[in-house]
Every structure is written in structure tokens, then in C-alpha cells.
Amino acid sequence: MTHSGHRPFKSFKKKKILHSKHPPHHSGPSLFVEGVFQNKGKFGFVLSADPLVGDVLIQGPSLRLAMGEDRVKARVTSAPSEARRSGNIVEVLSRAHQTVVGTFKRVGPNAVLMTEADEGPVHILEMNGLSPKAGDLAVVRITRWPTLEAPAAGDLTEVLGTREDPGVALAAVIRQYELPQKFSPEVEQEAAAFGRDVPEEAWRSPSRTRFFDQRIFTIDGADAKDFDDAVSLETLADGWRLSVHIADVSHYVREGSVLDQEARRRGTSVYFTGSVLPMLPFPLSDGLCSLRPDVIRLTLTCMMDIDRDGRVRGEQVVESAIRSARRFTYEEVETILTGGSLPGLDSLIASDVKEMGRLARLLREKRFGRGSLDFDFPEPSVITDLTGRPIDIRRRARLESHRLIEDFMVLANETVARHMQLQPFLYRVHESPDPVRMEKLKKSLEGVGLSLPRGGDLSHPSALSAVLSRSEGTPLQPLVHLMVLRSLKQAVYSPVNKGHYGLASRCYTHFTSPIRRYPDLIVHRLLKERLRDQERPEHWSRTLPEICEHASKRERVATEAEREFLDIQKARLMEPHVGEDFSGVISSVTNFGFFVQLDEFFVEGLVRVTNLGHDYFIFNEARMTLLGRRTGRVFATGQKVKIRLAGVNILKHQLDLELVSEKPAPRPPHPHQTPHPHRKHHSRAGQKGGRRRPG
């Protein structure tokens, strides 16, 4: 089958973009470290980006100078021989937030706000006519930053209401992270002006290839509202032609428009249980840009000719128009992949799905063969009642249908990035881990008894992939996955191609979700400029660095907000169960206690060392164990325990547990060694409609 309008990619001279890296500097005998301040109440950490320097523990009066997420400069005061660096904050370089959320209370004649982050009281200077009650959640705009002599102070701007109201809890998270909620009338008007249907002159444009004769469908979660990717498959004599069709958001969101400015400011959609703060207004995100079945939609299509060995032998990207034939849920596709049938389903579409399953397994095998990492953390699925209050939290199953879409989207992202790398472009990069962290990881893995690849070199992703494989199906699996994940750097957006370590990919981008991610929208603009011979290399070389930095920051904020609300829901769910007994598994061991994952609910809580009786417990960081010096009791990851829910701290989103039995269950033996009384491991559980977001 031939398609009109196809044009192969052209070659471009590679532009070299240089970035400077500023190492930590010395001032005389003192070492100064810059980083983001993480407040823990009575202490905090300056998170250094340089692993050679490490994080700095902050205690004492200088804690009062900074608030959570501020960027600060700290002077290291500890001796080089000390195991942990400690120091004092000497300067706040930039403030992370202009407003704070907390609990209103009165202290004598003063009105104060006790912040959610336990950063101390913020004095309220101006009530602005508002009348909050003691215990209400409220918002204060900071007008006086904290000093050593005086706490922060500001003006009351909003009273959210009582903490028990589920809607107030969500509002508090939104205010705390300063997430934009409502769209301005100008943005709403521009989005609504496009109407509800794609006009004929748009999809009949000579520059667009029409795929109306192909069997195209979407695969998403049952509760998904916006469908920005669809797939189709043709069987060729020597392989397959896989087409990934992505909503052409750039057709509507034009550079410099009020829609574009708002999308850039937000950077990403933010997903909470039962609600979303979309990057784009609903007339676009749920309407014209959503690839709904049986309606014409504008798209960009990446076609990949794949041989029987899973190698891409030819590819092409075109502006296109599609009409999706069906909207599948993951569960429906899983039924087909496992040999079941769906009433009324076209037999040709069912055949396509089965063939997609075979292709996806081949692509996955090839990707894992080159060393791509596969983290299998269970993801939470929150069930709420009609009021929004959580009534259950379960593990979300990771199905073969989820993996199928992941595999196809990863391949499309790689294909687009590979053929755009000779001109200014936006990449999703995941740099190689730092050797210092890899050496620490190696010692930790040896400490829990996991055999390493020959030679013990963990610098290549294939070595870490082998480590993950060796732990699979064993009690060590959750601990090893978490240890490996924590040793890696964070993926970010960049105008410089540094590869994607976690995917073992030389070149990677984000092309597949322009409805909810601003970087994908930029990638679409770059693609269309190339297809139309309208490249602007100087413009993009100048603007891409700032776009990438801002998008990476907005992504981190969204992730933190989503996790924060999930923690609140977990605490809310367990509040009525205080005093009840549960069975569980130790999921993580620390120097101050151990976390237990409950069997009945997908939540975890903390058993503190101080509640373990009259004994002195020694924490072995390498082996991740707590050993009672007097009794010889060992607590380690993977042990089954009986616990009682002693309390729920809604403010800090914490579950306090205590052991029901004095004797922990025996540890399961490790598959690669004889049981050792002191060794064990640890784990922690962590998107759109249940799909993992590749890279």
C-alpha cells in the first residue's frame, strides 16, 4: 500500500551546544555546597547535584533561614573523616514558593499558620477580612522571609476549610505546589474558537496523508478521557509496518498564542485520583485533540518498517488525518492477547491486536537484550466513594497490554529522535550514573547477598539489567529494584543528546503525548518545520535550553504533587482502622525503624525503633538490617510480621505501627546464598489511565 505525501528525512549539519558545569568551590579552608533545601522539621538536607560532594545535613539555628525547596548555599563544617557531611546554611539563593499552606491557629494575640512541611509558624500580618476557625487549612502569601531573629510572615489570602473535607485536601495540595487551576477567559475563548469538528479543508490539505482505510485504534485505561496516541499494523512480506498516530496538537496551539503561553507555563497535566489539572482546556484535550473513535482527527504519524528480527529498516513521519475504528481498554486488549474474545469485535481488528502482541514481545526482547532496565514497581489504584473519600487502595496490575503500548511508544520516540539529531532538537535524556554511586550500589548488593555480573562492573545498563533479572521472583526483588533506582540520575529534557541510560538508548525524545506534555508539543513543531522546509536552527538553539529546563522543573513539581495527594489518601483511608491488627511484610529498613507493607491494603507504615522494647538496635546499612544487641532479634526486608495500626498522622501523611508479636517471622532464605542471620533487603511502592510513562 502506498501513501501520498511521504517524504524522507533530510540530513543536517550537527550543531554543537556547549554547557558549562560549575563544580563546588572552596573559600579558604571552607567547602561551600549549593543545592535544594529539603526540610524535615528539626533537621534538613541540602541536596547536592554533585555525588562527589554529597548531601549536607543541616541542624541548629540556620534551619530557620530557608523553607522547603529553596535553593541555598551551605558551608560544610564537619571534618572530612566524618561519615556524613553536616553544615550550616549561609545564604538563600532563590525562593521556591511565594505562598504556603498550613493550619490556622492563634498563639496568644497572634494569628499564625503552621505549615504542612513543619517549617515552624508563619505569622499572619494581614487577615484581609477573612475569618478562619482554629484548625482550618489556609493559604498565606509571604511578605517577610525568615531570618535568624524572626520567623516568616505574610498576608492571609484564602481559607480552604476543614481538613476532613476531601475537596479541601486536594485544594491544599494544589495551593501548596502553586499549580495553575483555572484557565483565563482569553485561553478558554481561543480553545473554544476551533469548534467541535475538524473542518474538511484541514484534513483534505495536500500536506496531509489520510489513513482512513486503515484499522486504527486507541488503547488506554478505562477511566481515560484524552486519547493522544493510536496504533495500526500492516503485515509485510518480510515483517511489519507499525504506525503510531499522535494527536497534532501543534495545529491548534500555535507558537506565541495565549494557548501556547499557558501550556508552556503549566508544562504538563497533573493527574489526581478522580480529577486532572490539564495542560490544555477541555475543548482541546478532551475534544478536538482527543483521538476518539469514528471521528476525523489531525495527527502526526510515525511509520516504521520492522523486519522479523525486530530492527527498524525504514521510517517516515508525515502530517496525517485518521479516523479511529475503536477505543480499547487495557483489559479488553488483554482478553484478546490471552485468547479470549469480545462480543461484536471485528475479526480483522482482533487479528491485528494478536499480531501486535507478537511484535511487542519481539521488540521488548530486543530492547532488554541491549540492557534496557525494567523496573516492576507495583502502582496504586485508588477507589473513592461519591464524595471523593478513599475507600480502598489496591495494586494496579501491569498487563501485557500495558507493555504493548509501552513498547510501541518507546520505539516511536527513539525513531523520531534518531532522525532529528542532526539539527537543534529536544531530547529526553537519562545520563549514565555516577561511578561513586555505582560503587556504593555494588557494596550494597553484595551486602544483601546478590551475586553480581562477572567482574562486578555496573557501569553499563546491561549489567544492572542482569542484577534486576537475578532478583526477579525472590524476596530481594523490591529491595534491589529500589536500590538500583536510587543510584540512577533523574531523566530530564535537554537540547543536547546524552542518550537514555535506563532504556539503553542512544537517542530518545518525547513525541507521543502532546496533549499533556509541553516538550512533546515542541517536538511536533520541530518535526513539522522540517517536513515543510521551514527550519529555524538559530531560533531553536537560542530557546530550547530554557524550554527544557522549565519543562523538567514543571514535571518534578507535578510528580511531587501527585505523590503528596496519594499519601494523603492513604492516611485518610486508614484513619478509621486505628487499633486494628494487620499482617504485612517489612518493605524497608532504616536506622530509625522499619516500614511494613500491609497485606490487606496497598499502604505502608512505620514501626519505630523506640517502640521495639528495651533493646539497642544496630542498623547495618549494607545489609539493610536492624539487629538487637541484647536479644539478637533481626528485622530485615521480606519478613512477615503482625502489626497494629497505632495512629494516623494526617498532617504528615504517616501511619504509625507497632508489633503485635515480639518475635518476627523467620526470614526467607536468599536463593544465591545460605541464610545469614544478619542479611536482608528493602522495598517501596511508588499515569495516564494506568499506563506507565516511557522514559
Q: Domain limits of the chain?
A: 26-94, 99-162, 185-431+490-567
Residue-level pLDDT at 694:
54
Q: How far apart are CA 227 and CA 219, in angstroms?
A: 8
- Specify which residues 140 forms β-bridges with: 100, 156
**Amino acid type, 5:** G
Q: Which three cell numbers stand for residue 503?
A: 532504556
- Specify which residues 659 forms β-bridges with: 643
CA angle 92, 94, 96 (to 5 degrees): 115
Residue-level pLDDT at 685:
31
Phi, psi (deg, nearest 5) at residue 327: -110, 105
Q: How far apart are CA 600 and CA 435, in angstroms?
A: 40
- DSSP E strands in 467-603: the ranges are 492-494, 581-590, 593-598
Question: Quick one: how far is CA 123 from the chain centroid?
Answer: 34
8 A C-beta contact, residue 212 and residue 681: no
8 A C-beta contact, residue 160 and residue 136: yes
8 A C-beta contact, residue 152 and residue 67: yes
Q: How far apart are CA 161 and CA 173, in angstroms?
A: 13
Q: Which CATH architecture has domain 26-94?
A: Beta Barrel (2.40)
SS3 state of residue 577 = helix
Q: How far apart are CA 623 and CA 633, in angstroms?
A: 15
Q: How far apart are CA 116 and CA 139, in angstroms?
A: 11
Question: Does an H or E element contain 412, and which?
Answer: helix 400-418
Give burial (CB, 10 Å; 0-12/13-18/19+) of 237.
Answer: exposed
Residue in 321, 306, 291 with CA at minimum distance from that of residue 213: 321
8 A C-beta contact, residue 203 and residue 298: yes
Neighbouring C-alpha atoms within 13 Å toward the C-beta of 521: 29
8 A C-beta contact, residue 278 and residue 514: no
Residue-level pLDDT at 51:
66
Q: How far apart are CA 281 and CA 262, in angstroms?
A: 10
Residue-level pLDDT at 382:
87
Q: Which three cell numbers stand for residue 652?
A: 504528615
Residues in the chain: 695
DSSP secondary structure code for residue 501 in this structure:
T
Residue-level pLDDT at 9:
40
Residue-level pLDDT at 43:
87
* pLDDT tens digits along 449-506: 787 777 667 888 988 998 888 888 877 787 788 888 888 999 999 999 999 999 999 9
Q: How far apart are CA 101 and CA 428, in angstroms?
A: 33
Angle between helices 477-487 and 435-447 (to 10 degrees): 160
Q: How far apart are CA 323 and CA 214, in angstroms?
A: 9
Residue in 594, 630, 638 with CA at minimum distance from that of residue 449: 638
Does this model's pTM top 0.95?
Answer: no
SS3 state of residue 626 = strand
Residue-level pLDDT at 82:
75
Q: How far apart are CA 160 and CA 158, in angstroms?
A: 6
CA 186, 187, 192, 197 dihedral sign is positive
Q: How far apart are CA 36 and CA 58, in angstroms?
A: 12
> In whole angstroms, how far apart are CA 330 and each of 292, 353, 395?
16, 12, 15
Q: Which three cell numbers stand for residue 376?
A: 516492576
Q: How far apart are CA 637 and CA 611, in angstroms?
A: 18
Residue-level pLDDT at 142:
96
Residue-level pLDDT at 486:
84
- Specify which residues 314 forms β-bridges with: 305
Question: Does an H or E element contain 390, and which?
Answer: strand 390-396
Residue-level pLDDT at 225:
82
Residue-level pLDDT at 493:
98
Low-confidence ranges of the chain (pLDDT < 50): 1-28, 664-693
255 CB neighbour count, 10 Å cutoff:
13
In CATH terms, the fold of domain 99-162 is OB fold (Dihydrolipoamide Acetyltransferase, E2P) (2.40.50)
Q: Which residue has the cell 495500526?
A: 232
Q: Which three cell numbers stand for residue 492?
A: 530530564
Long-range interactions of 185-193: CB distance < 8 A, separation 24+: 186/258, 187/258, 187/259, 187/262, 187/281, 188/281, 188/283, 190/257, 190/258, 190/259, 191/252, 191/259, 191/280, 191/281, 191/282, 191/283, 191/284, 192/281, 192/283
Q: Which three cell numbers stand for residue 550?
A: 522549565
Phi, psi (deg, nearest 5) at residue 314: -165, 150
**Amino acid type, 430:** H
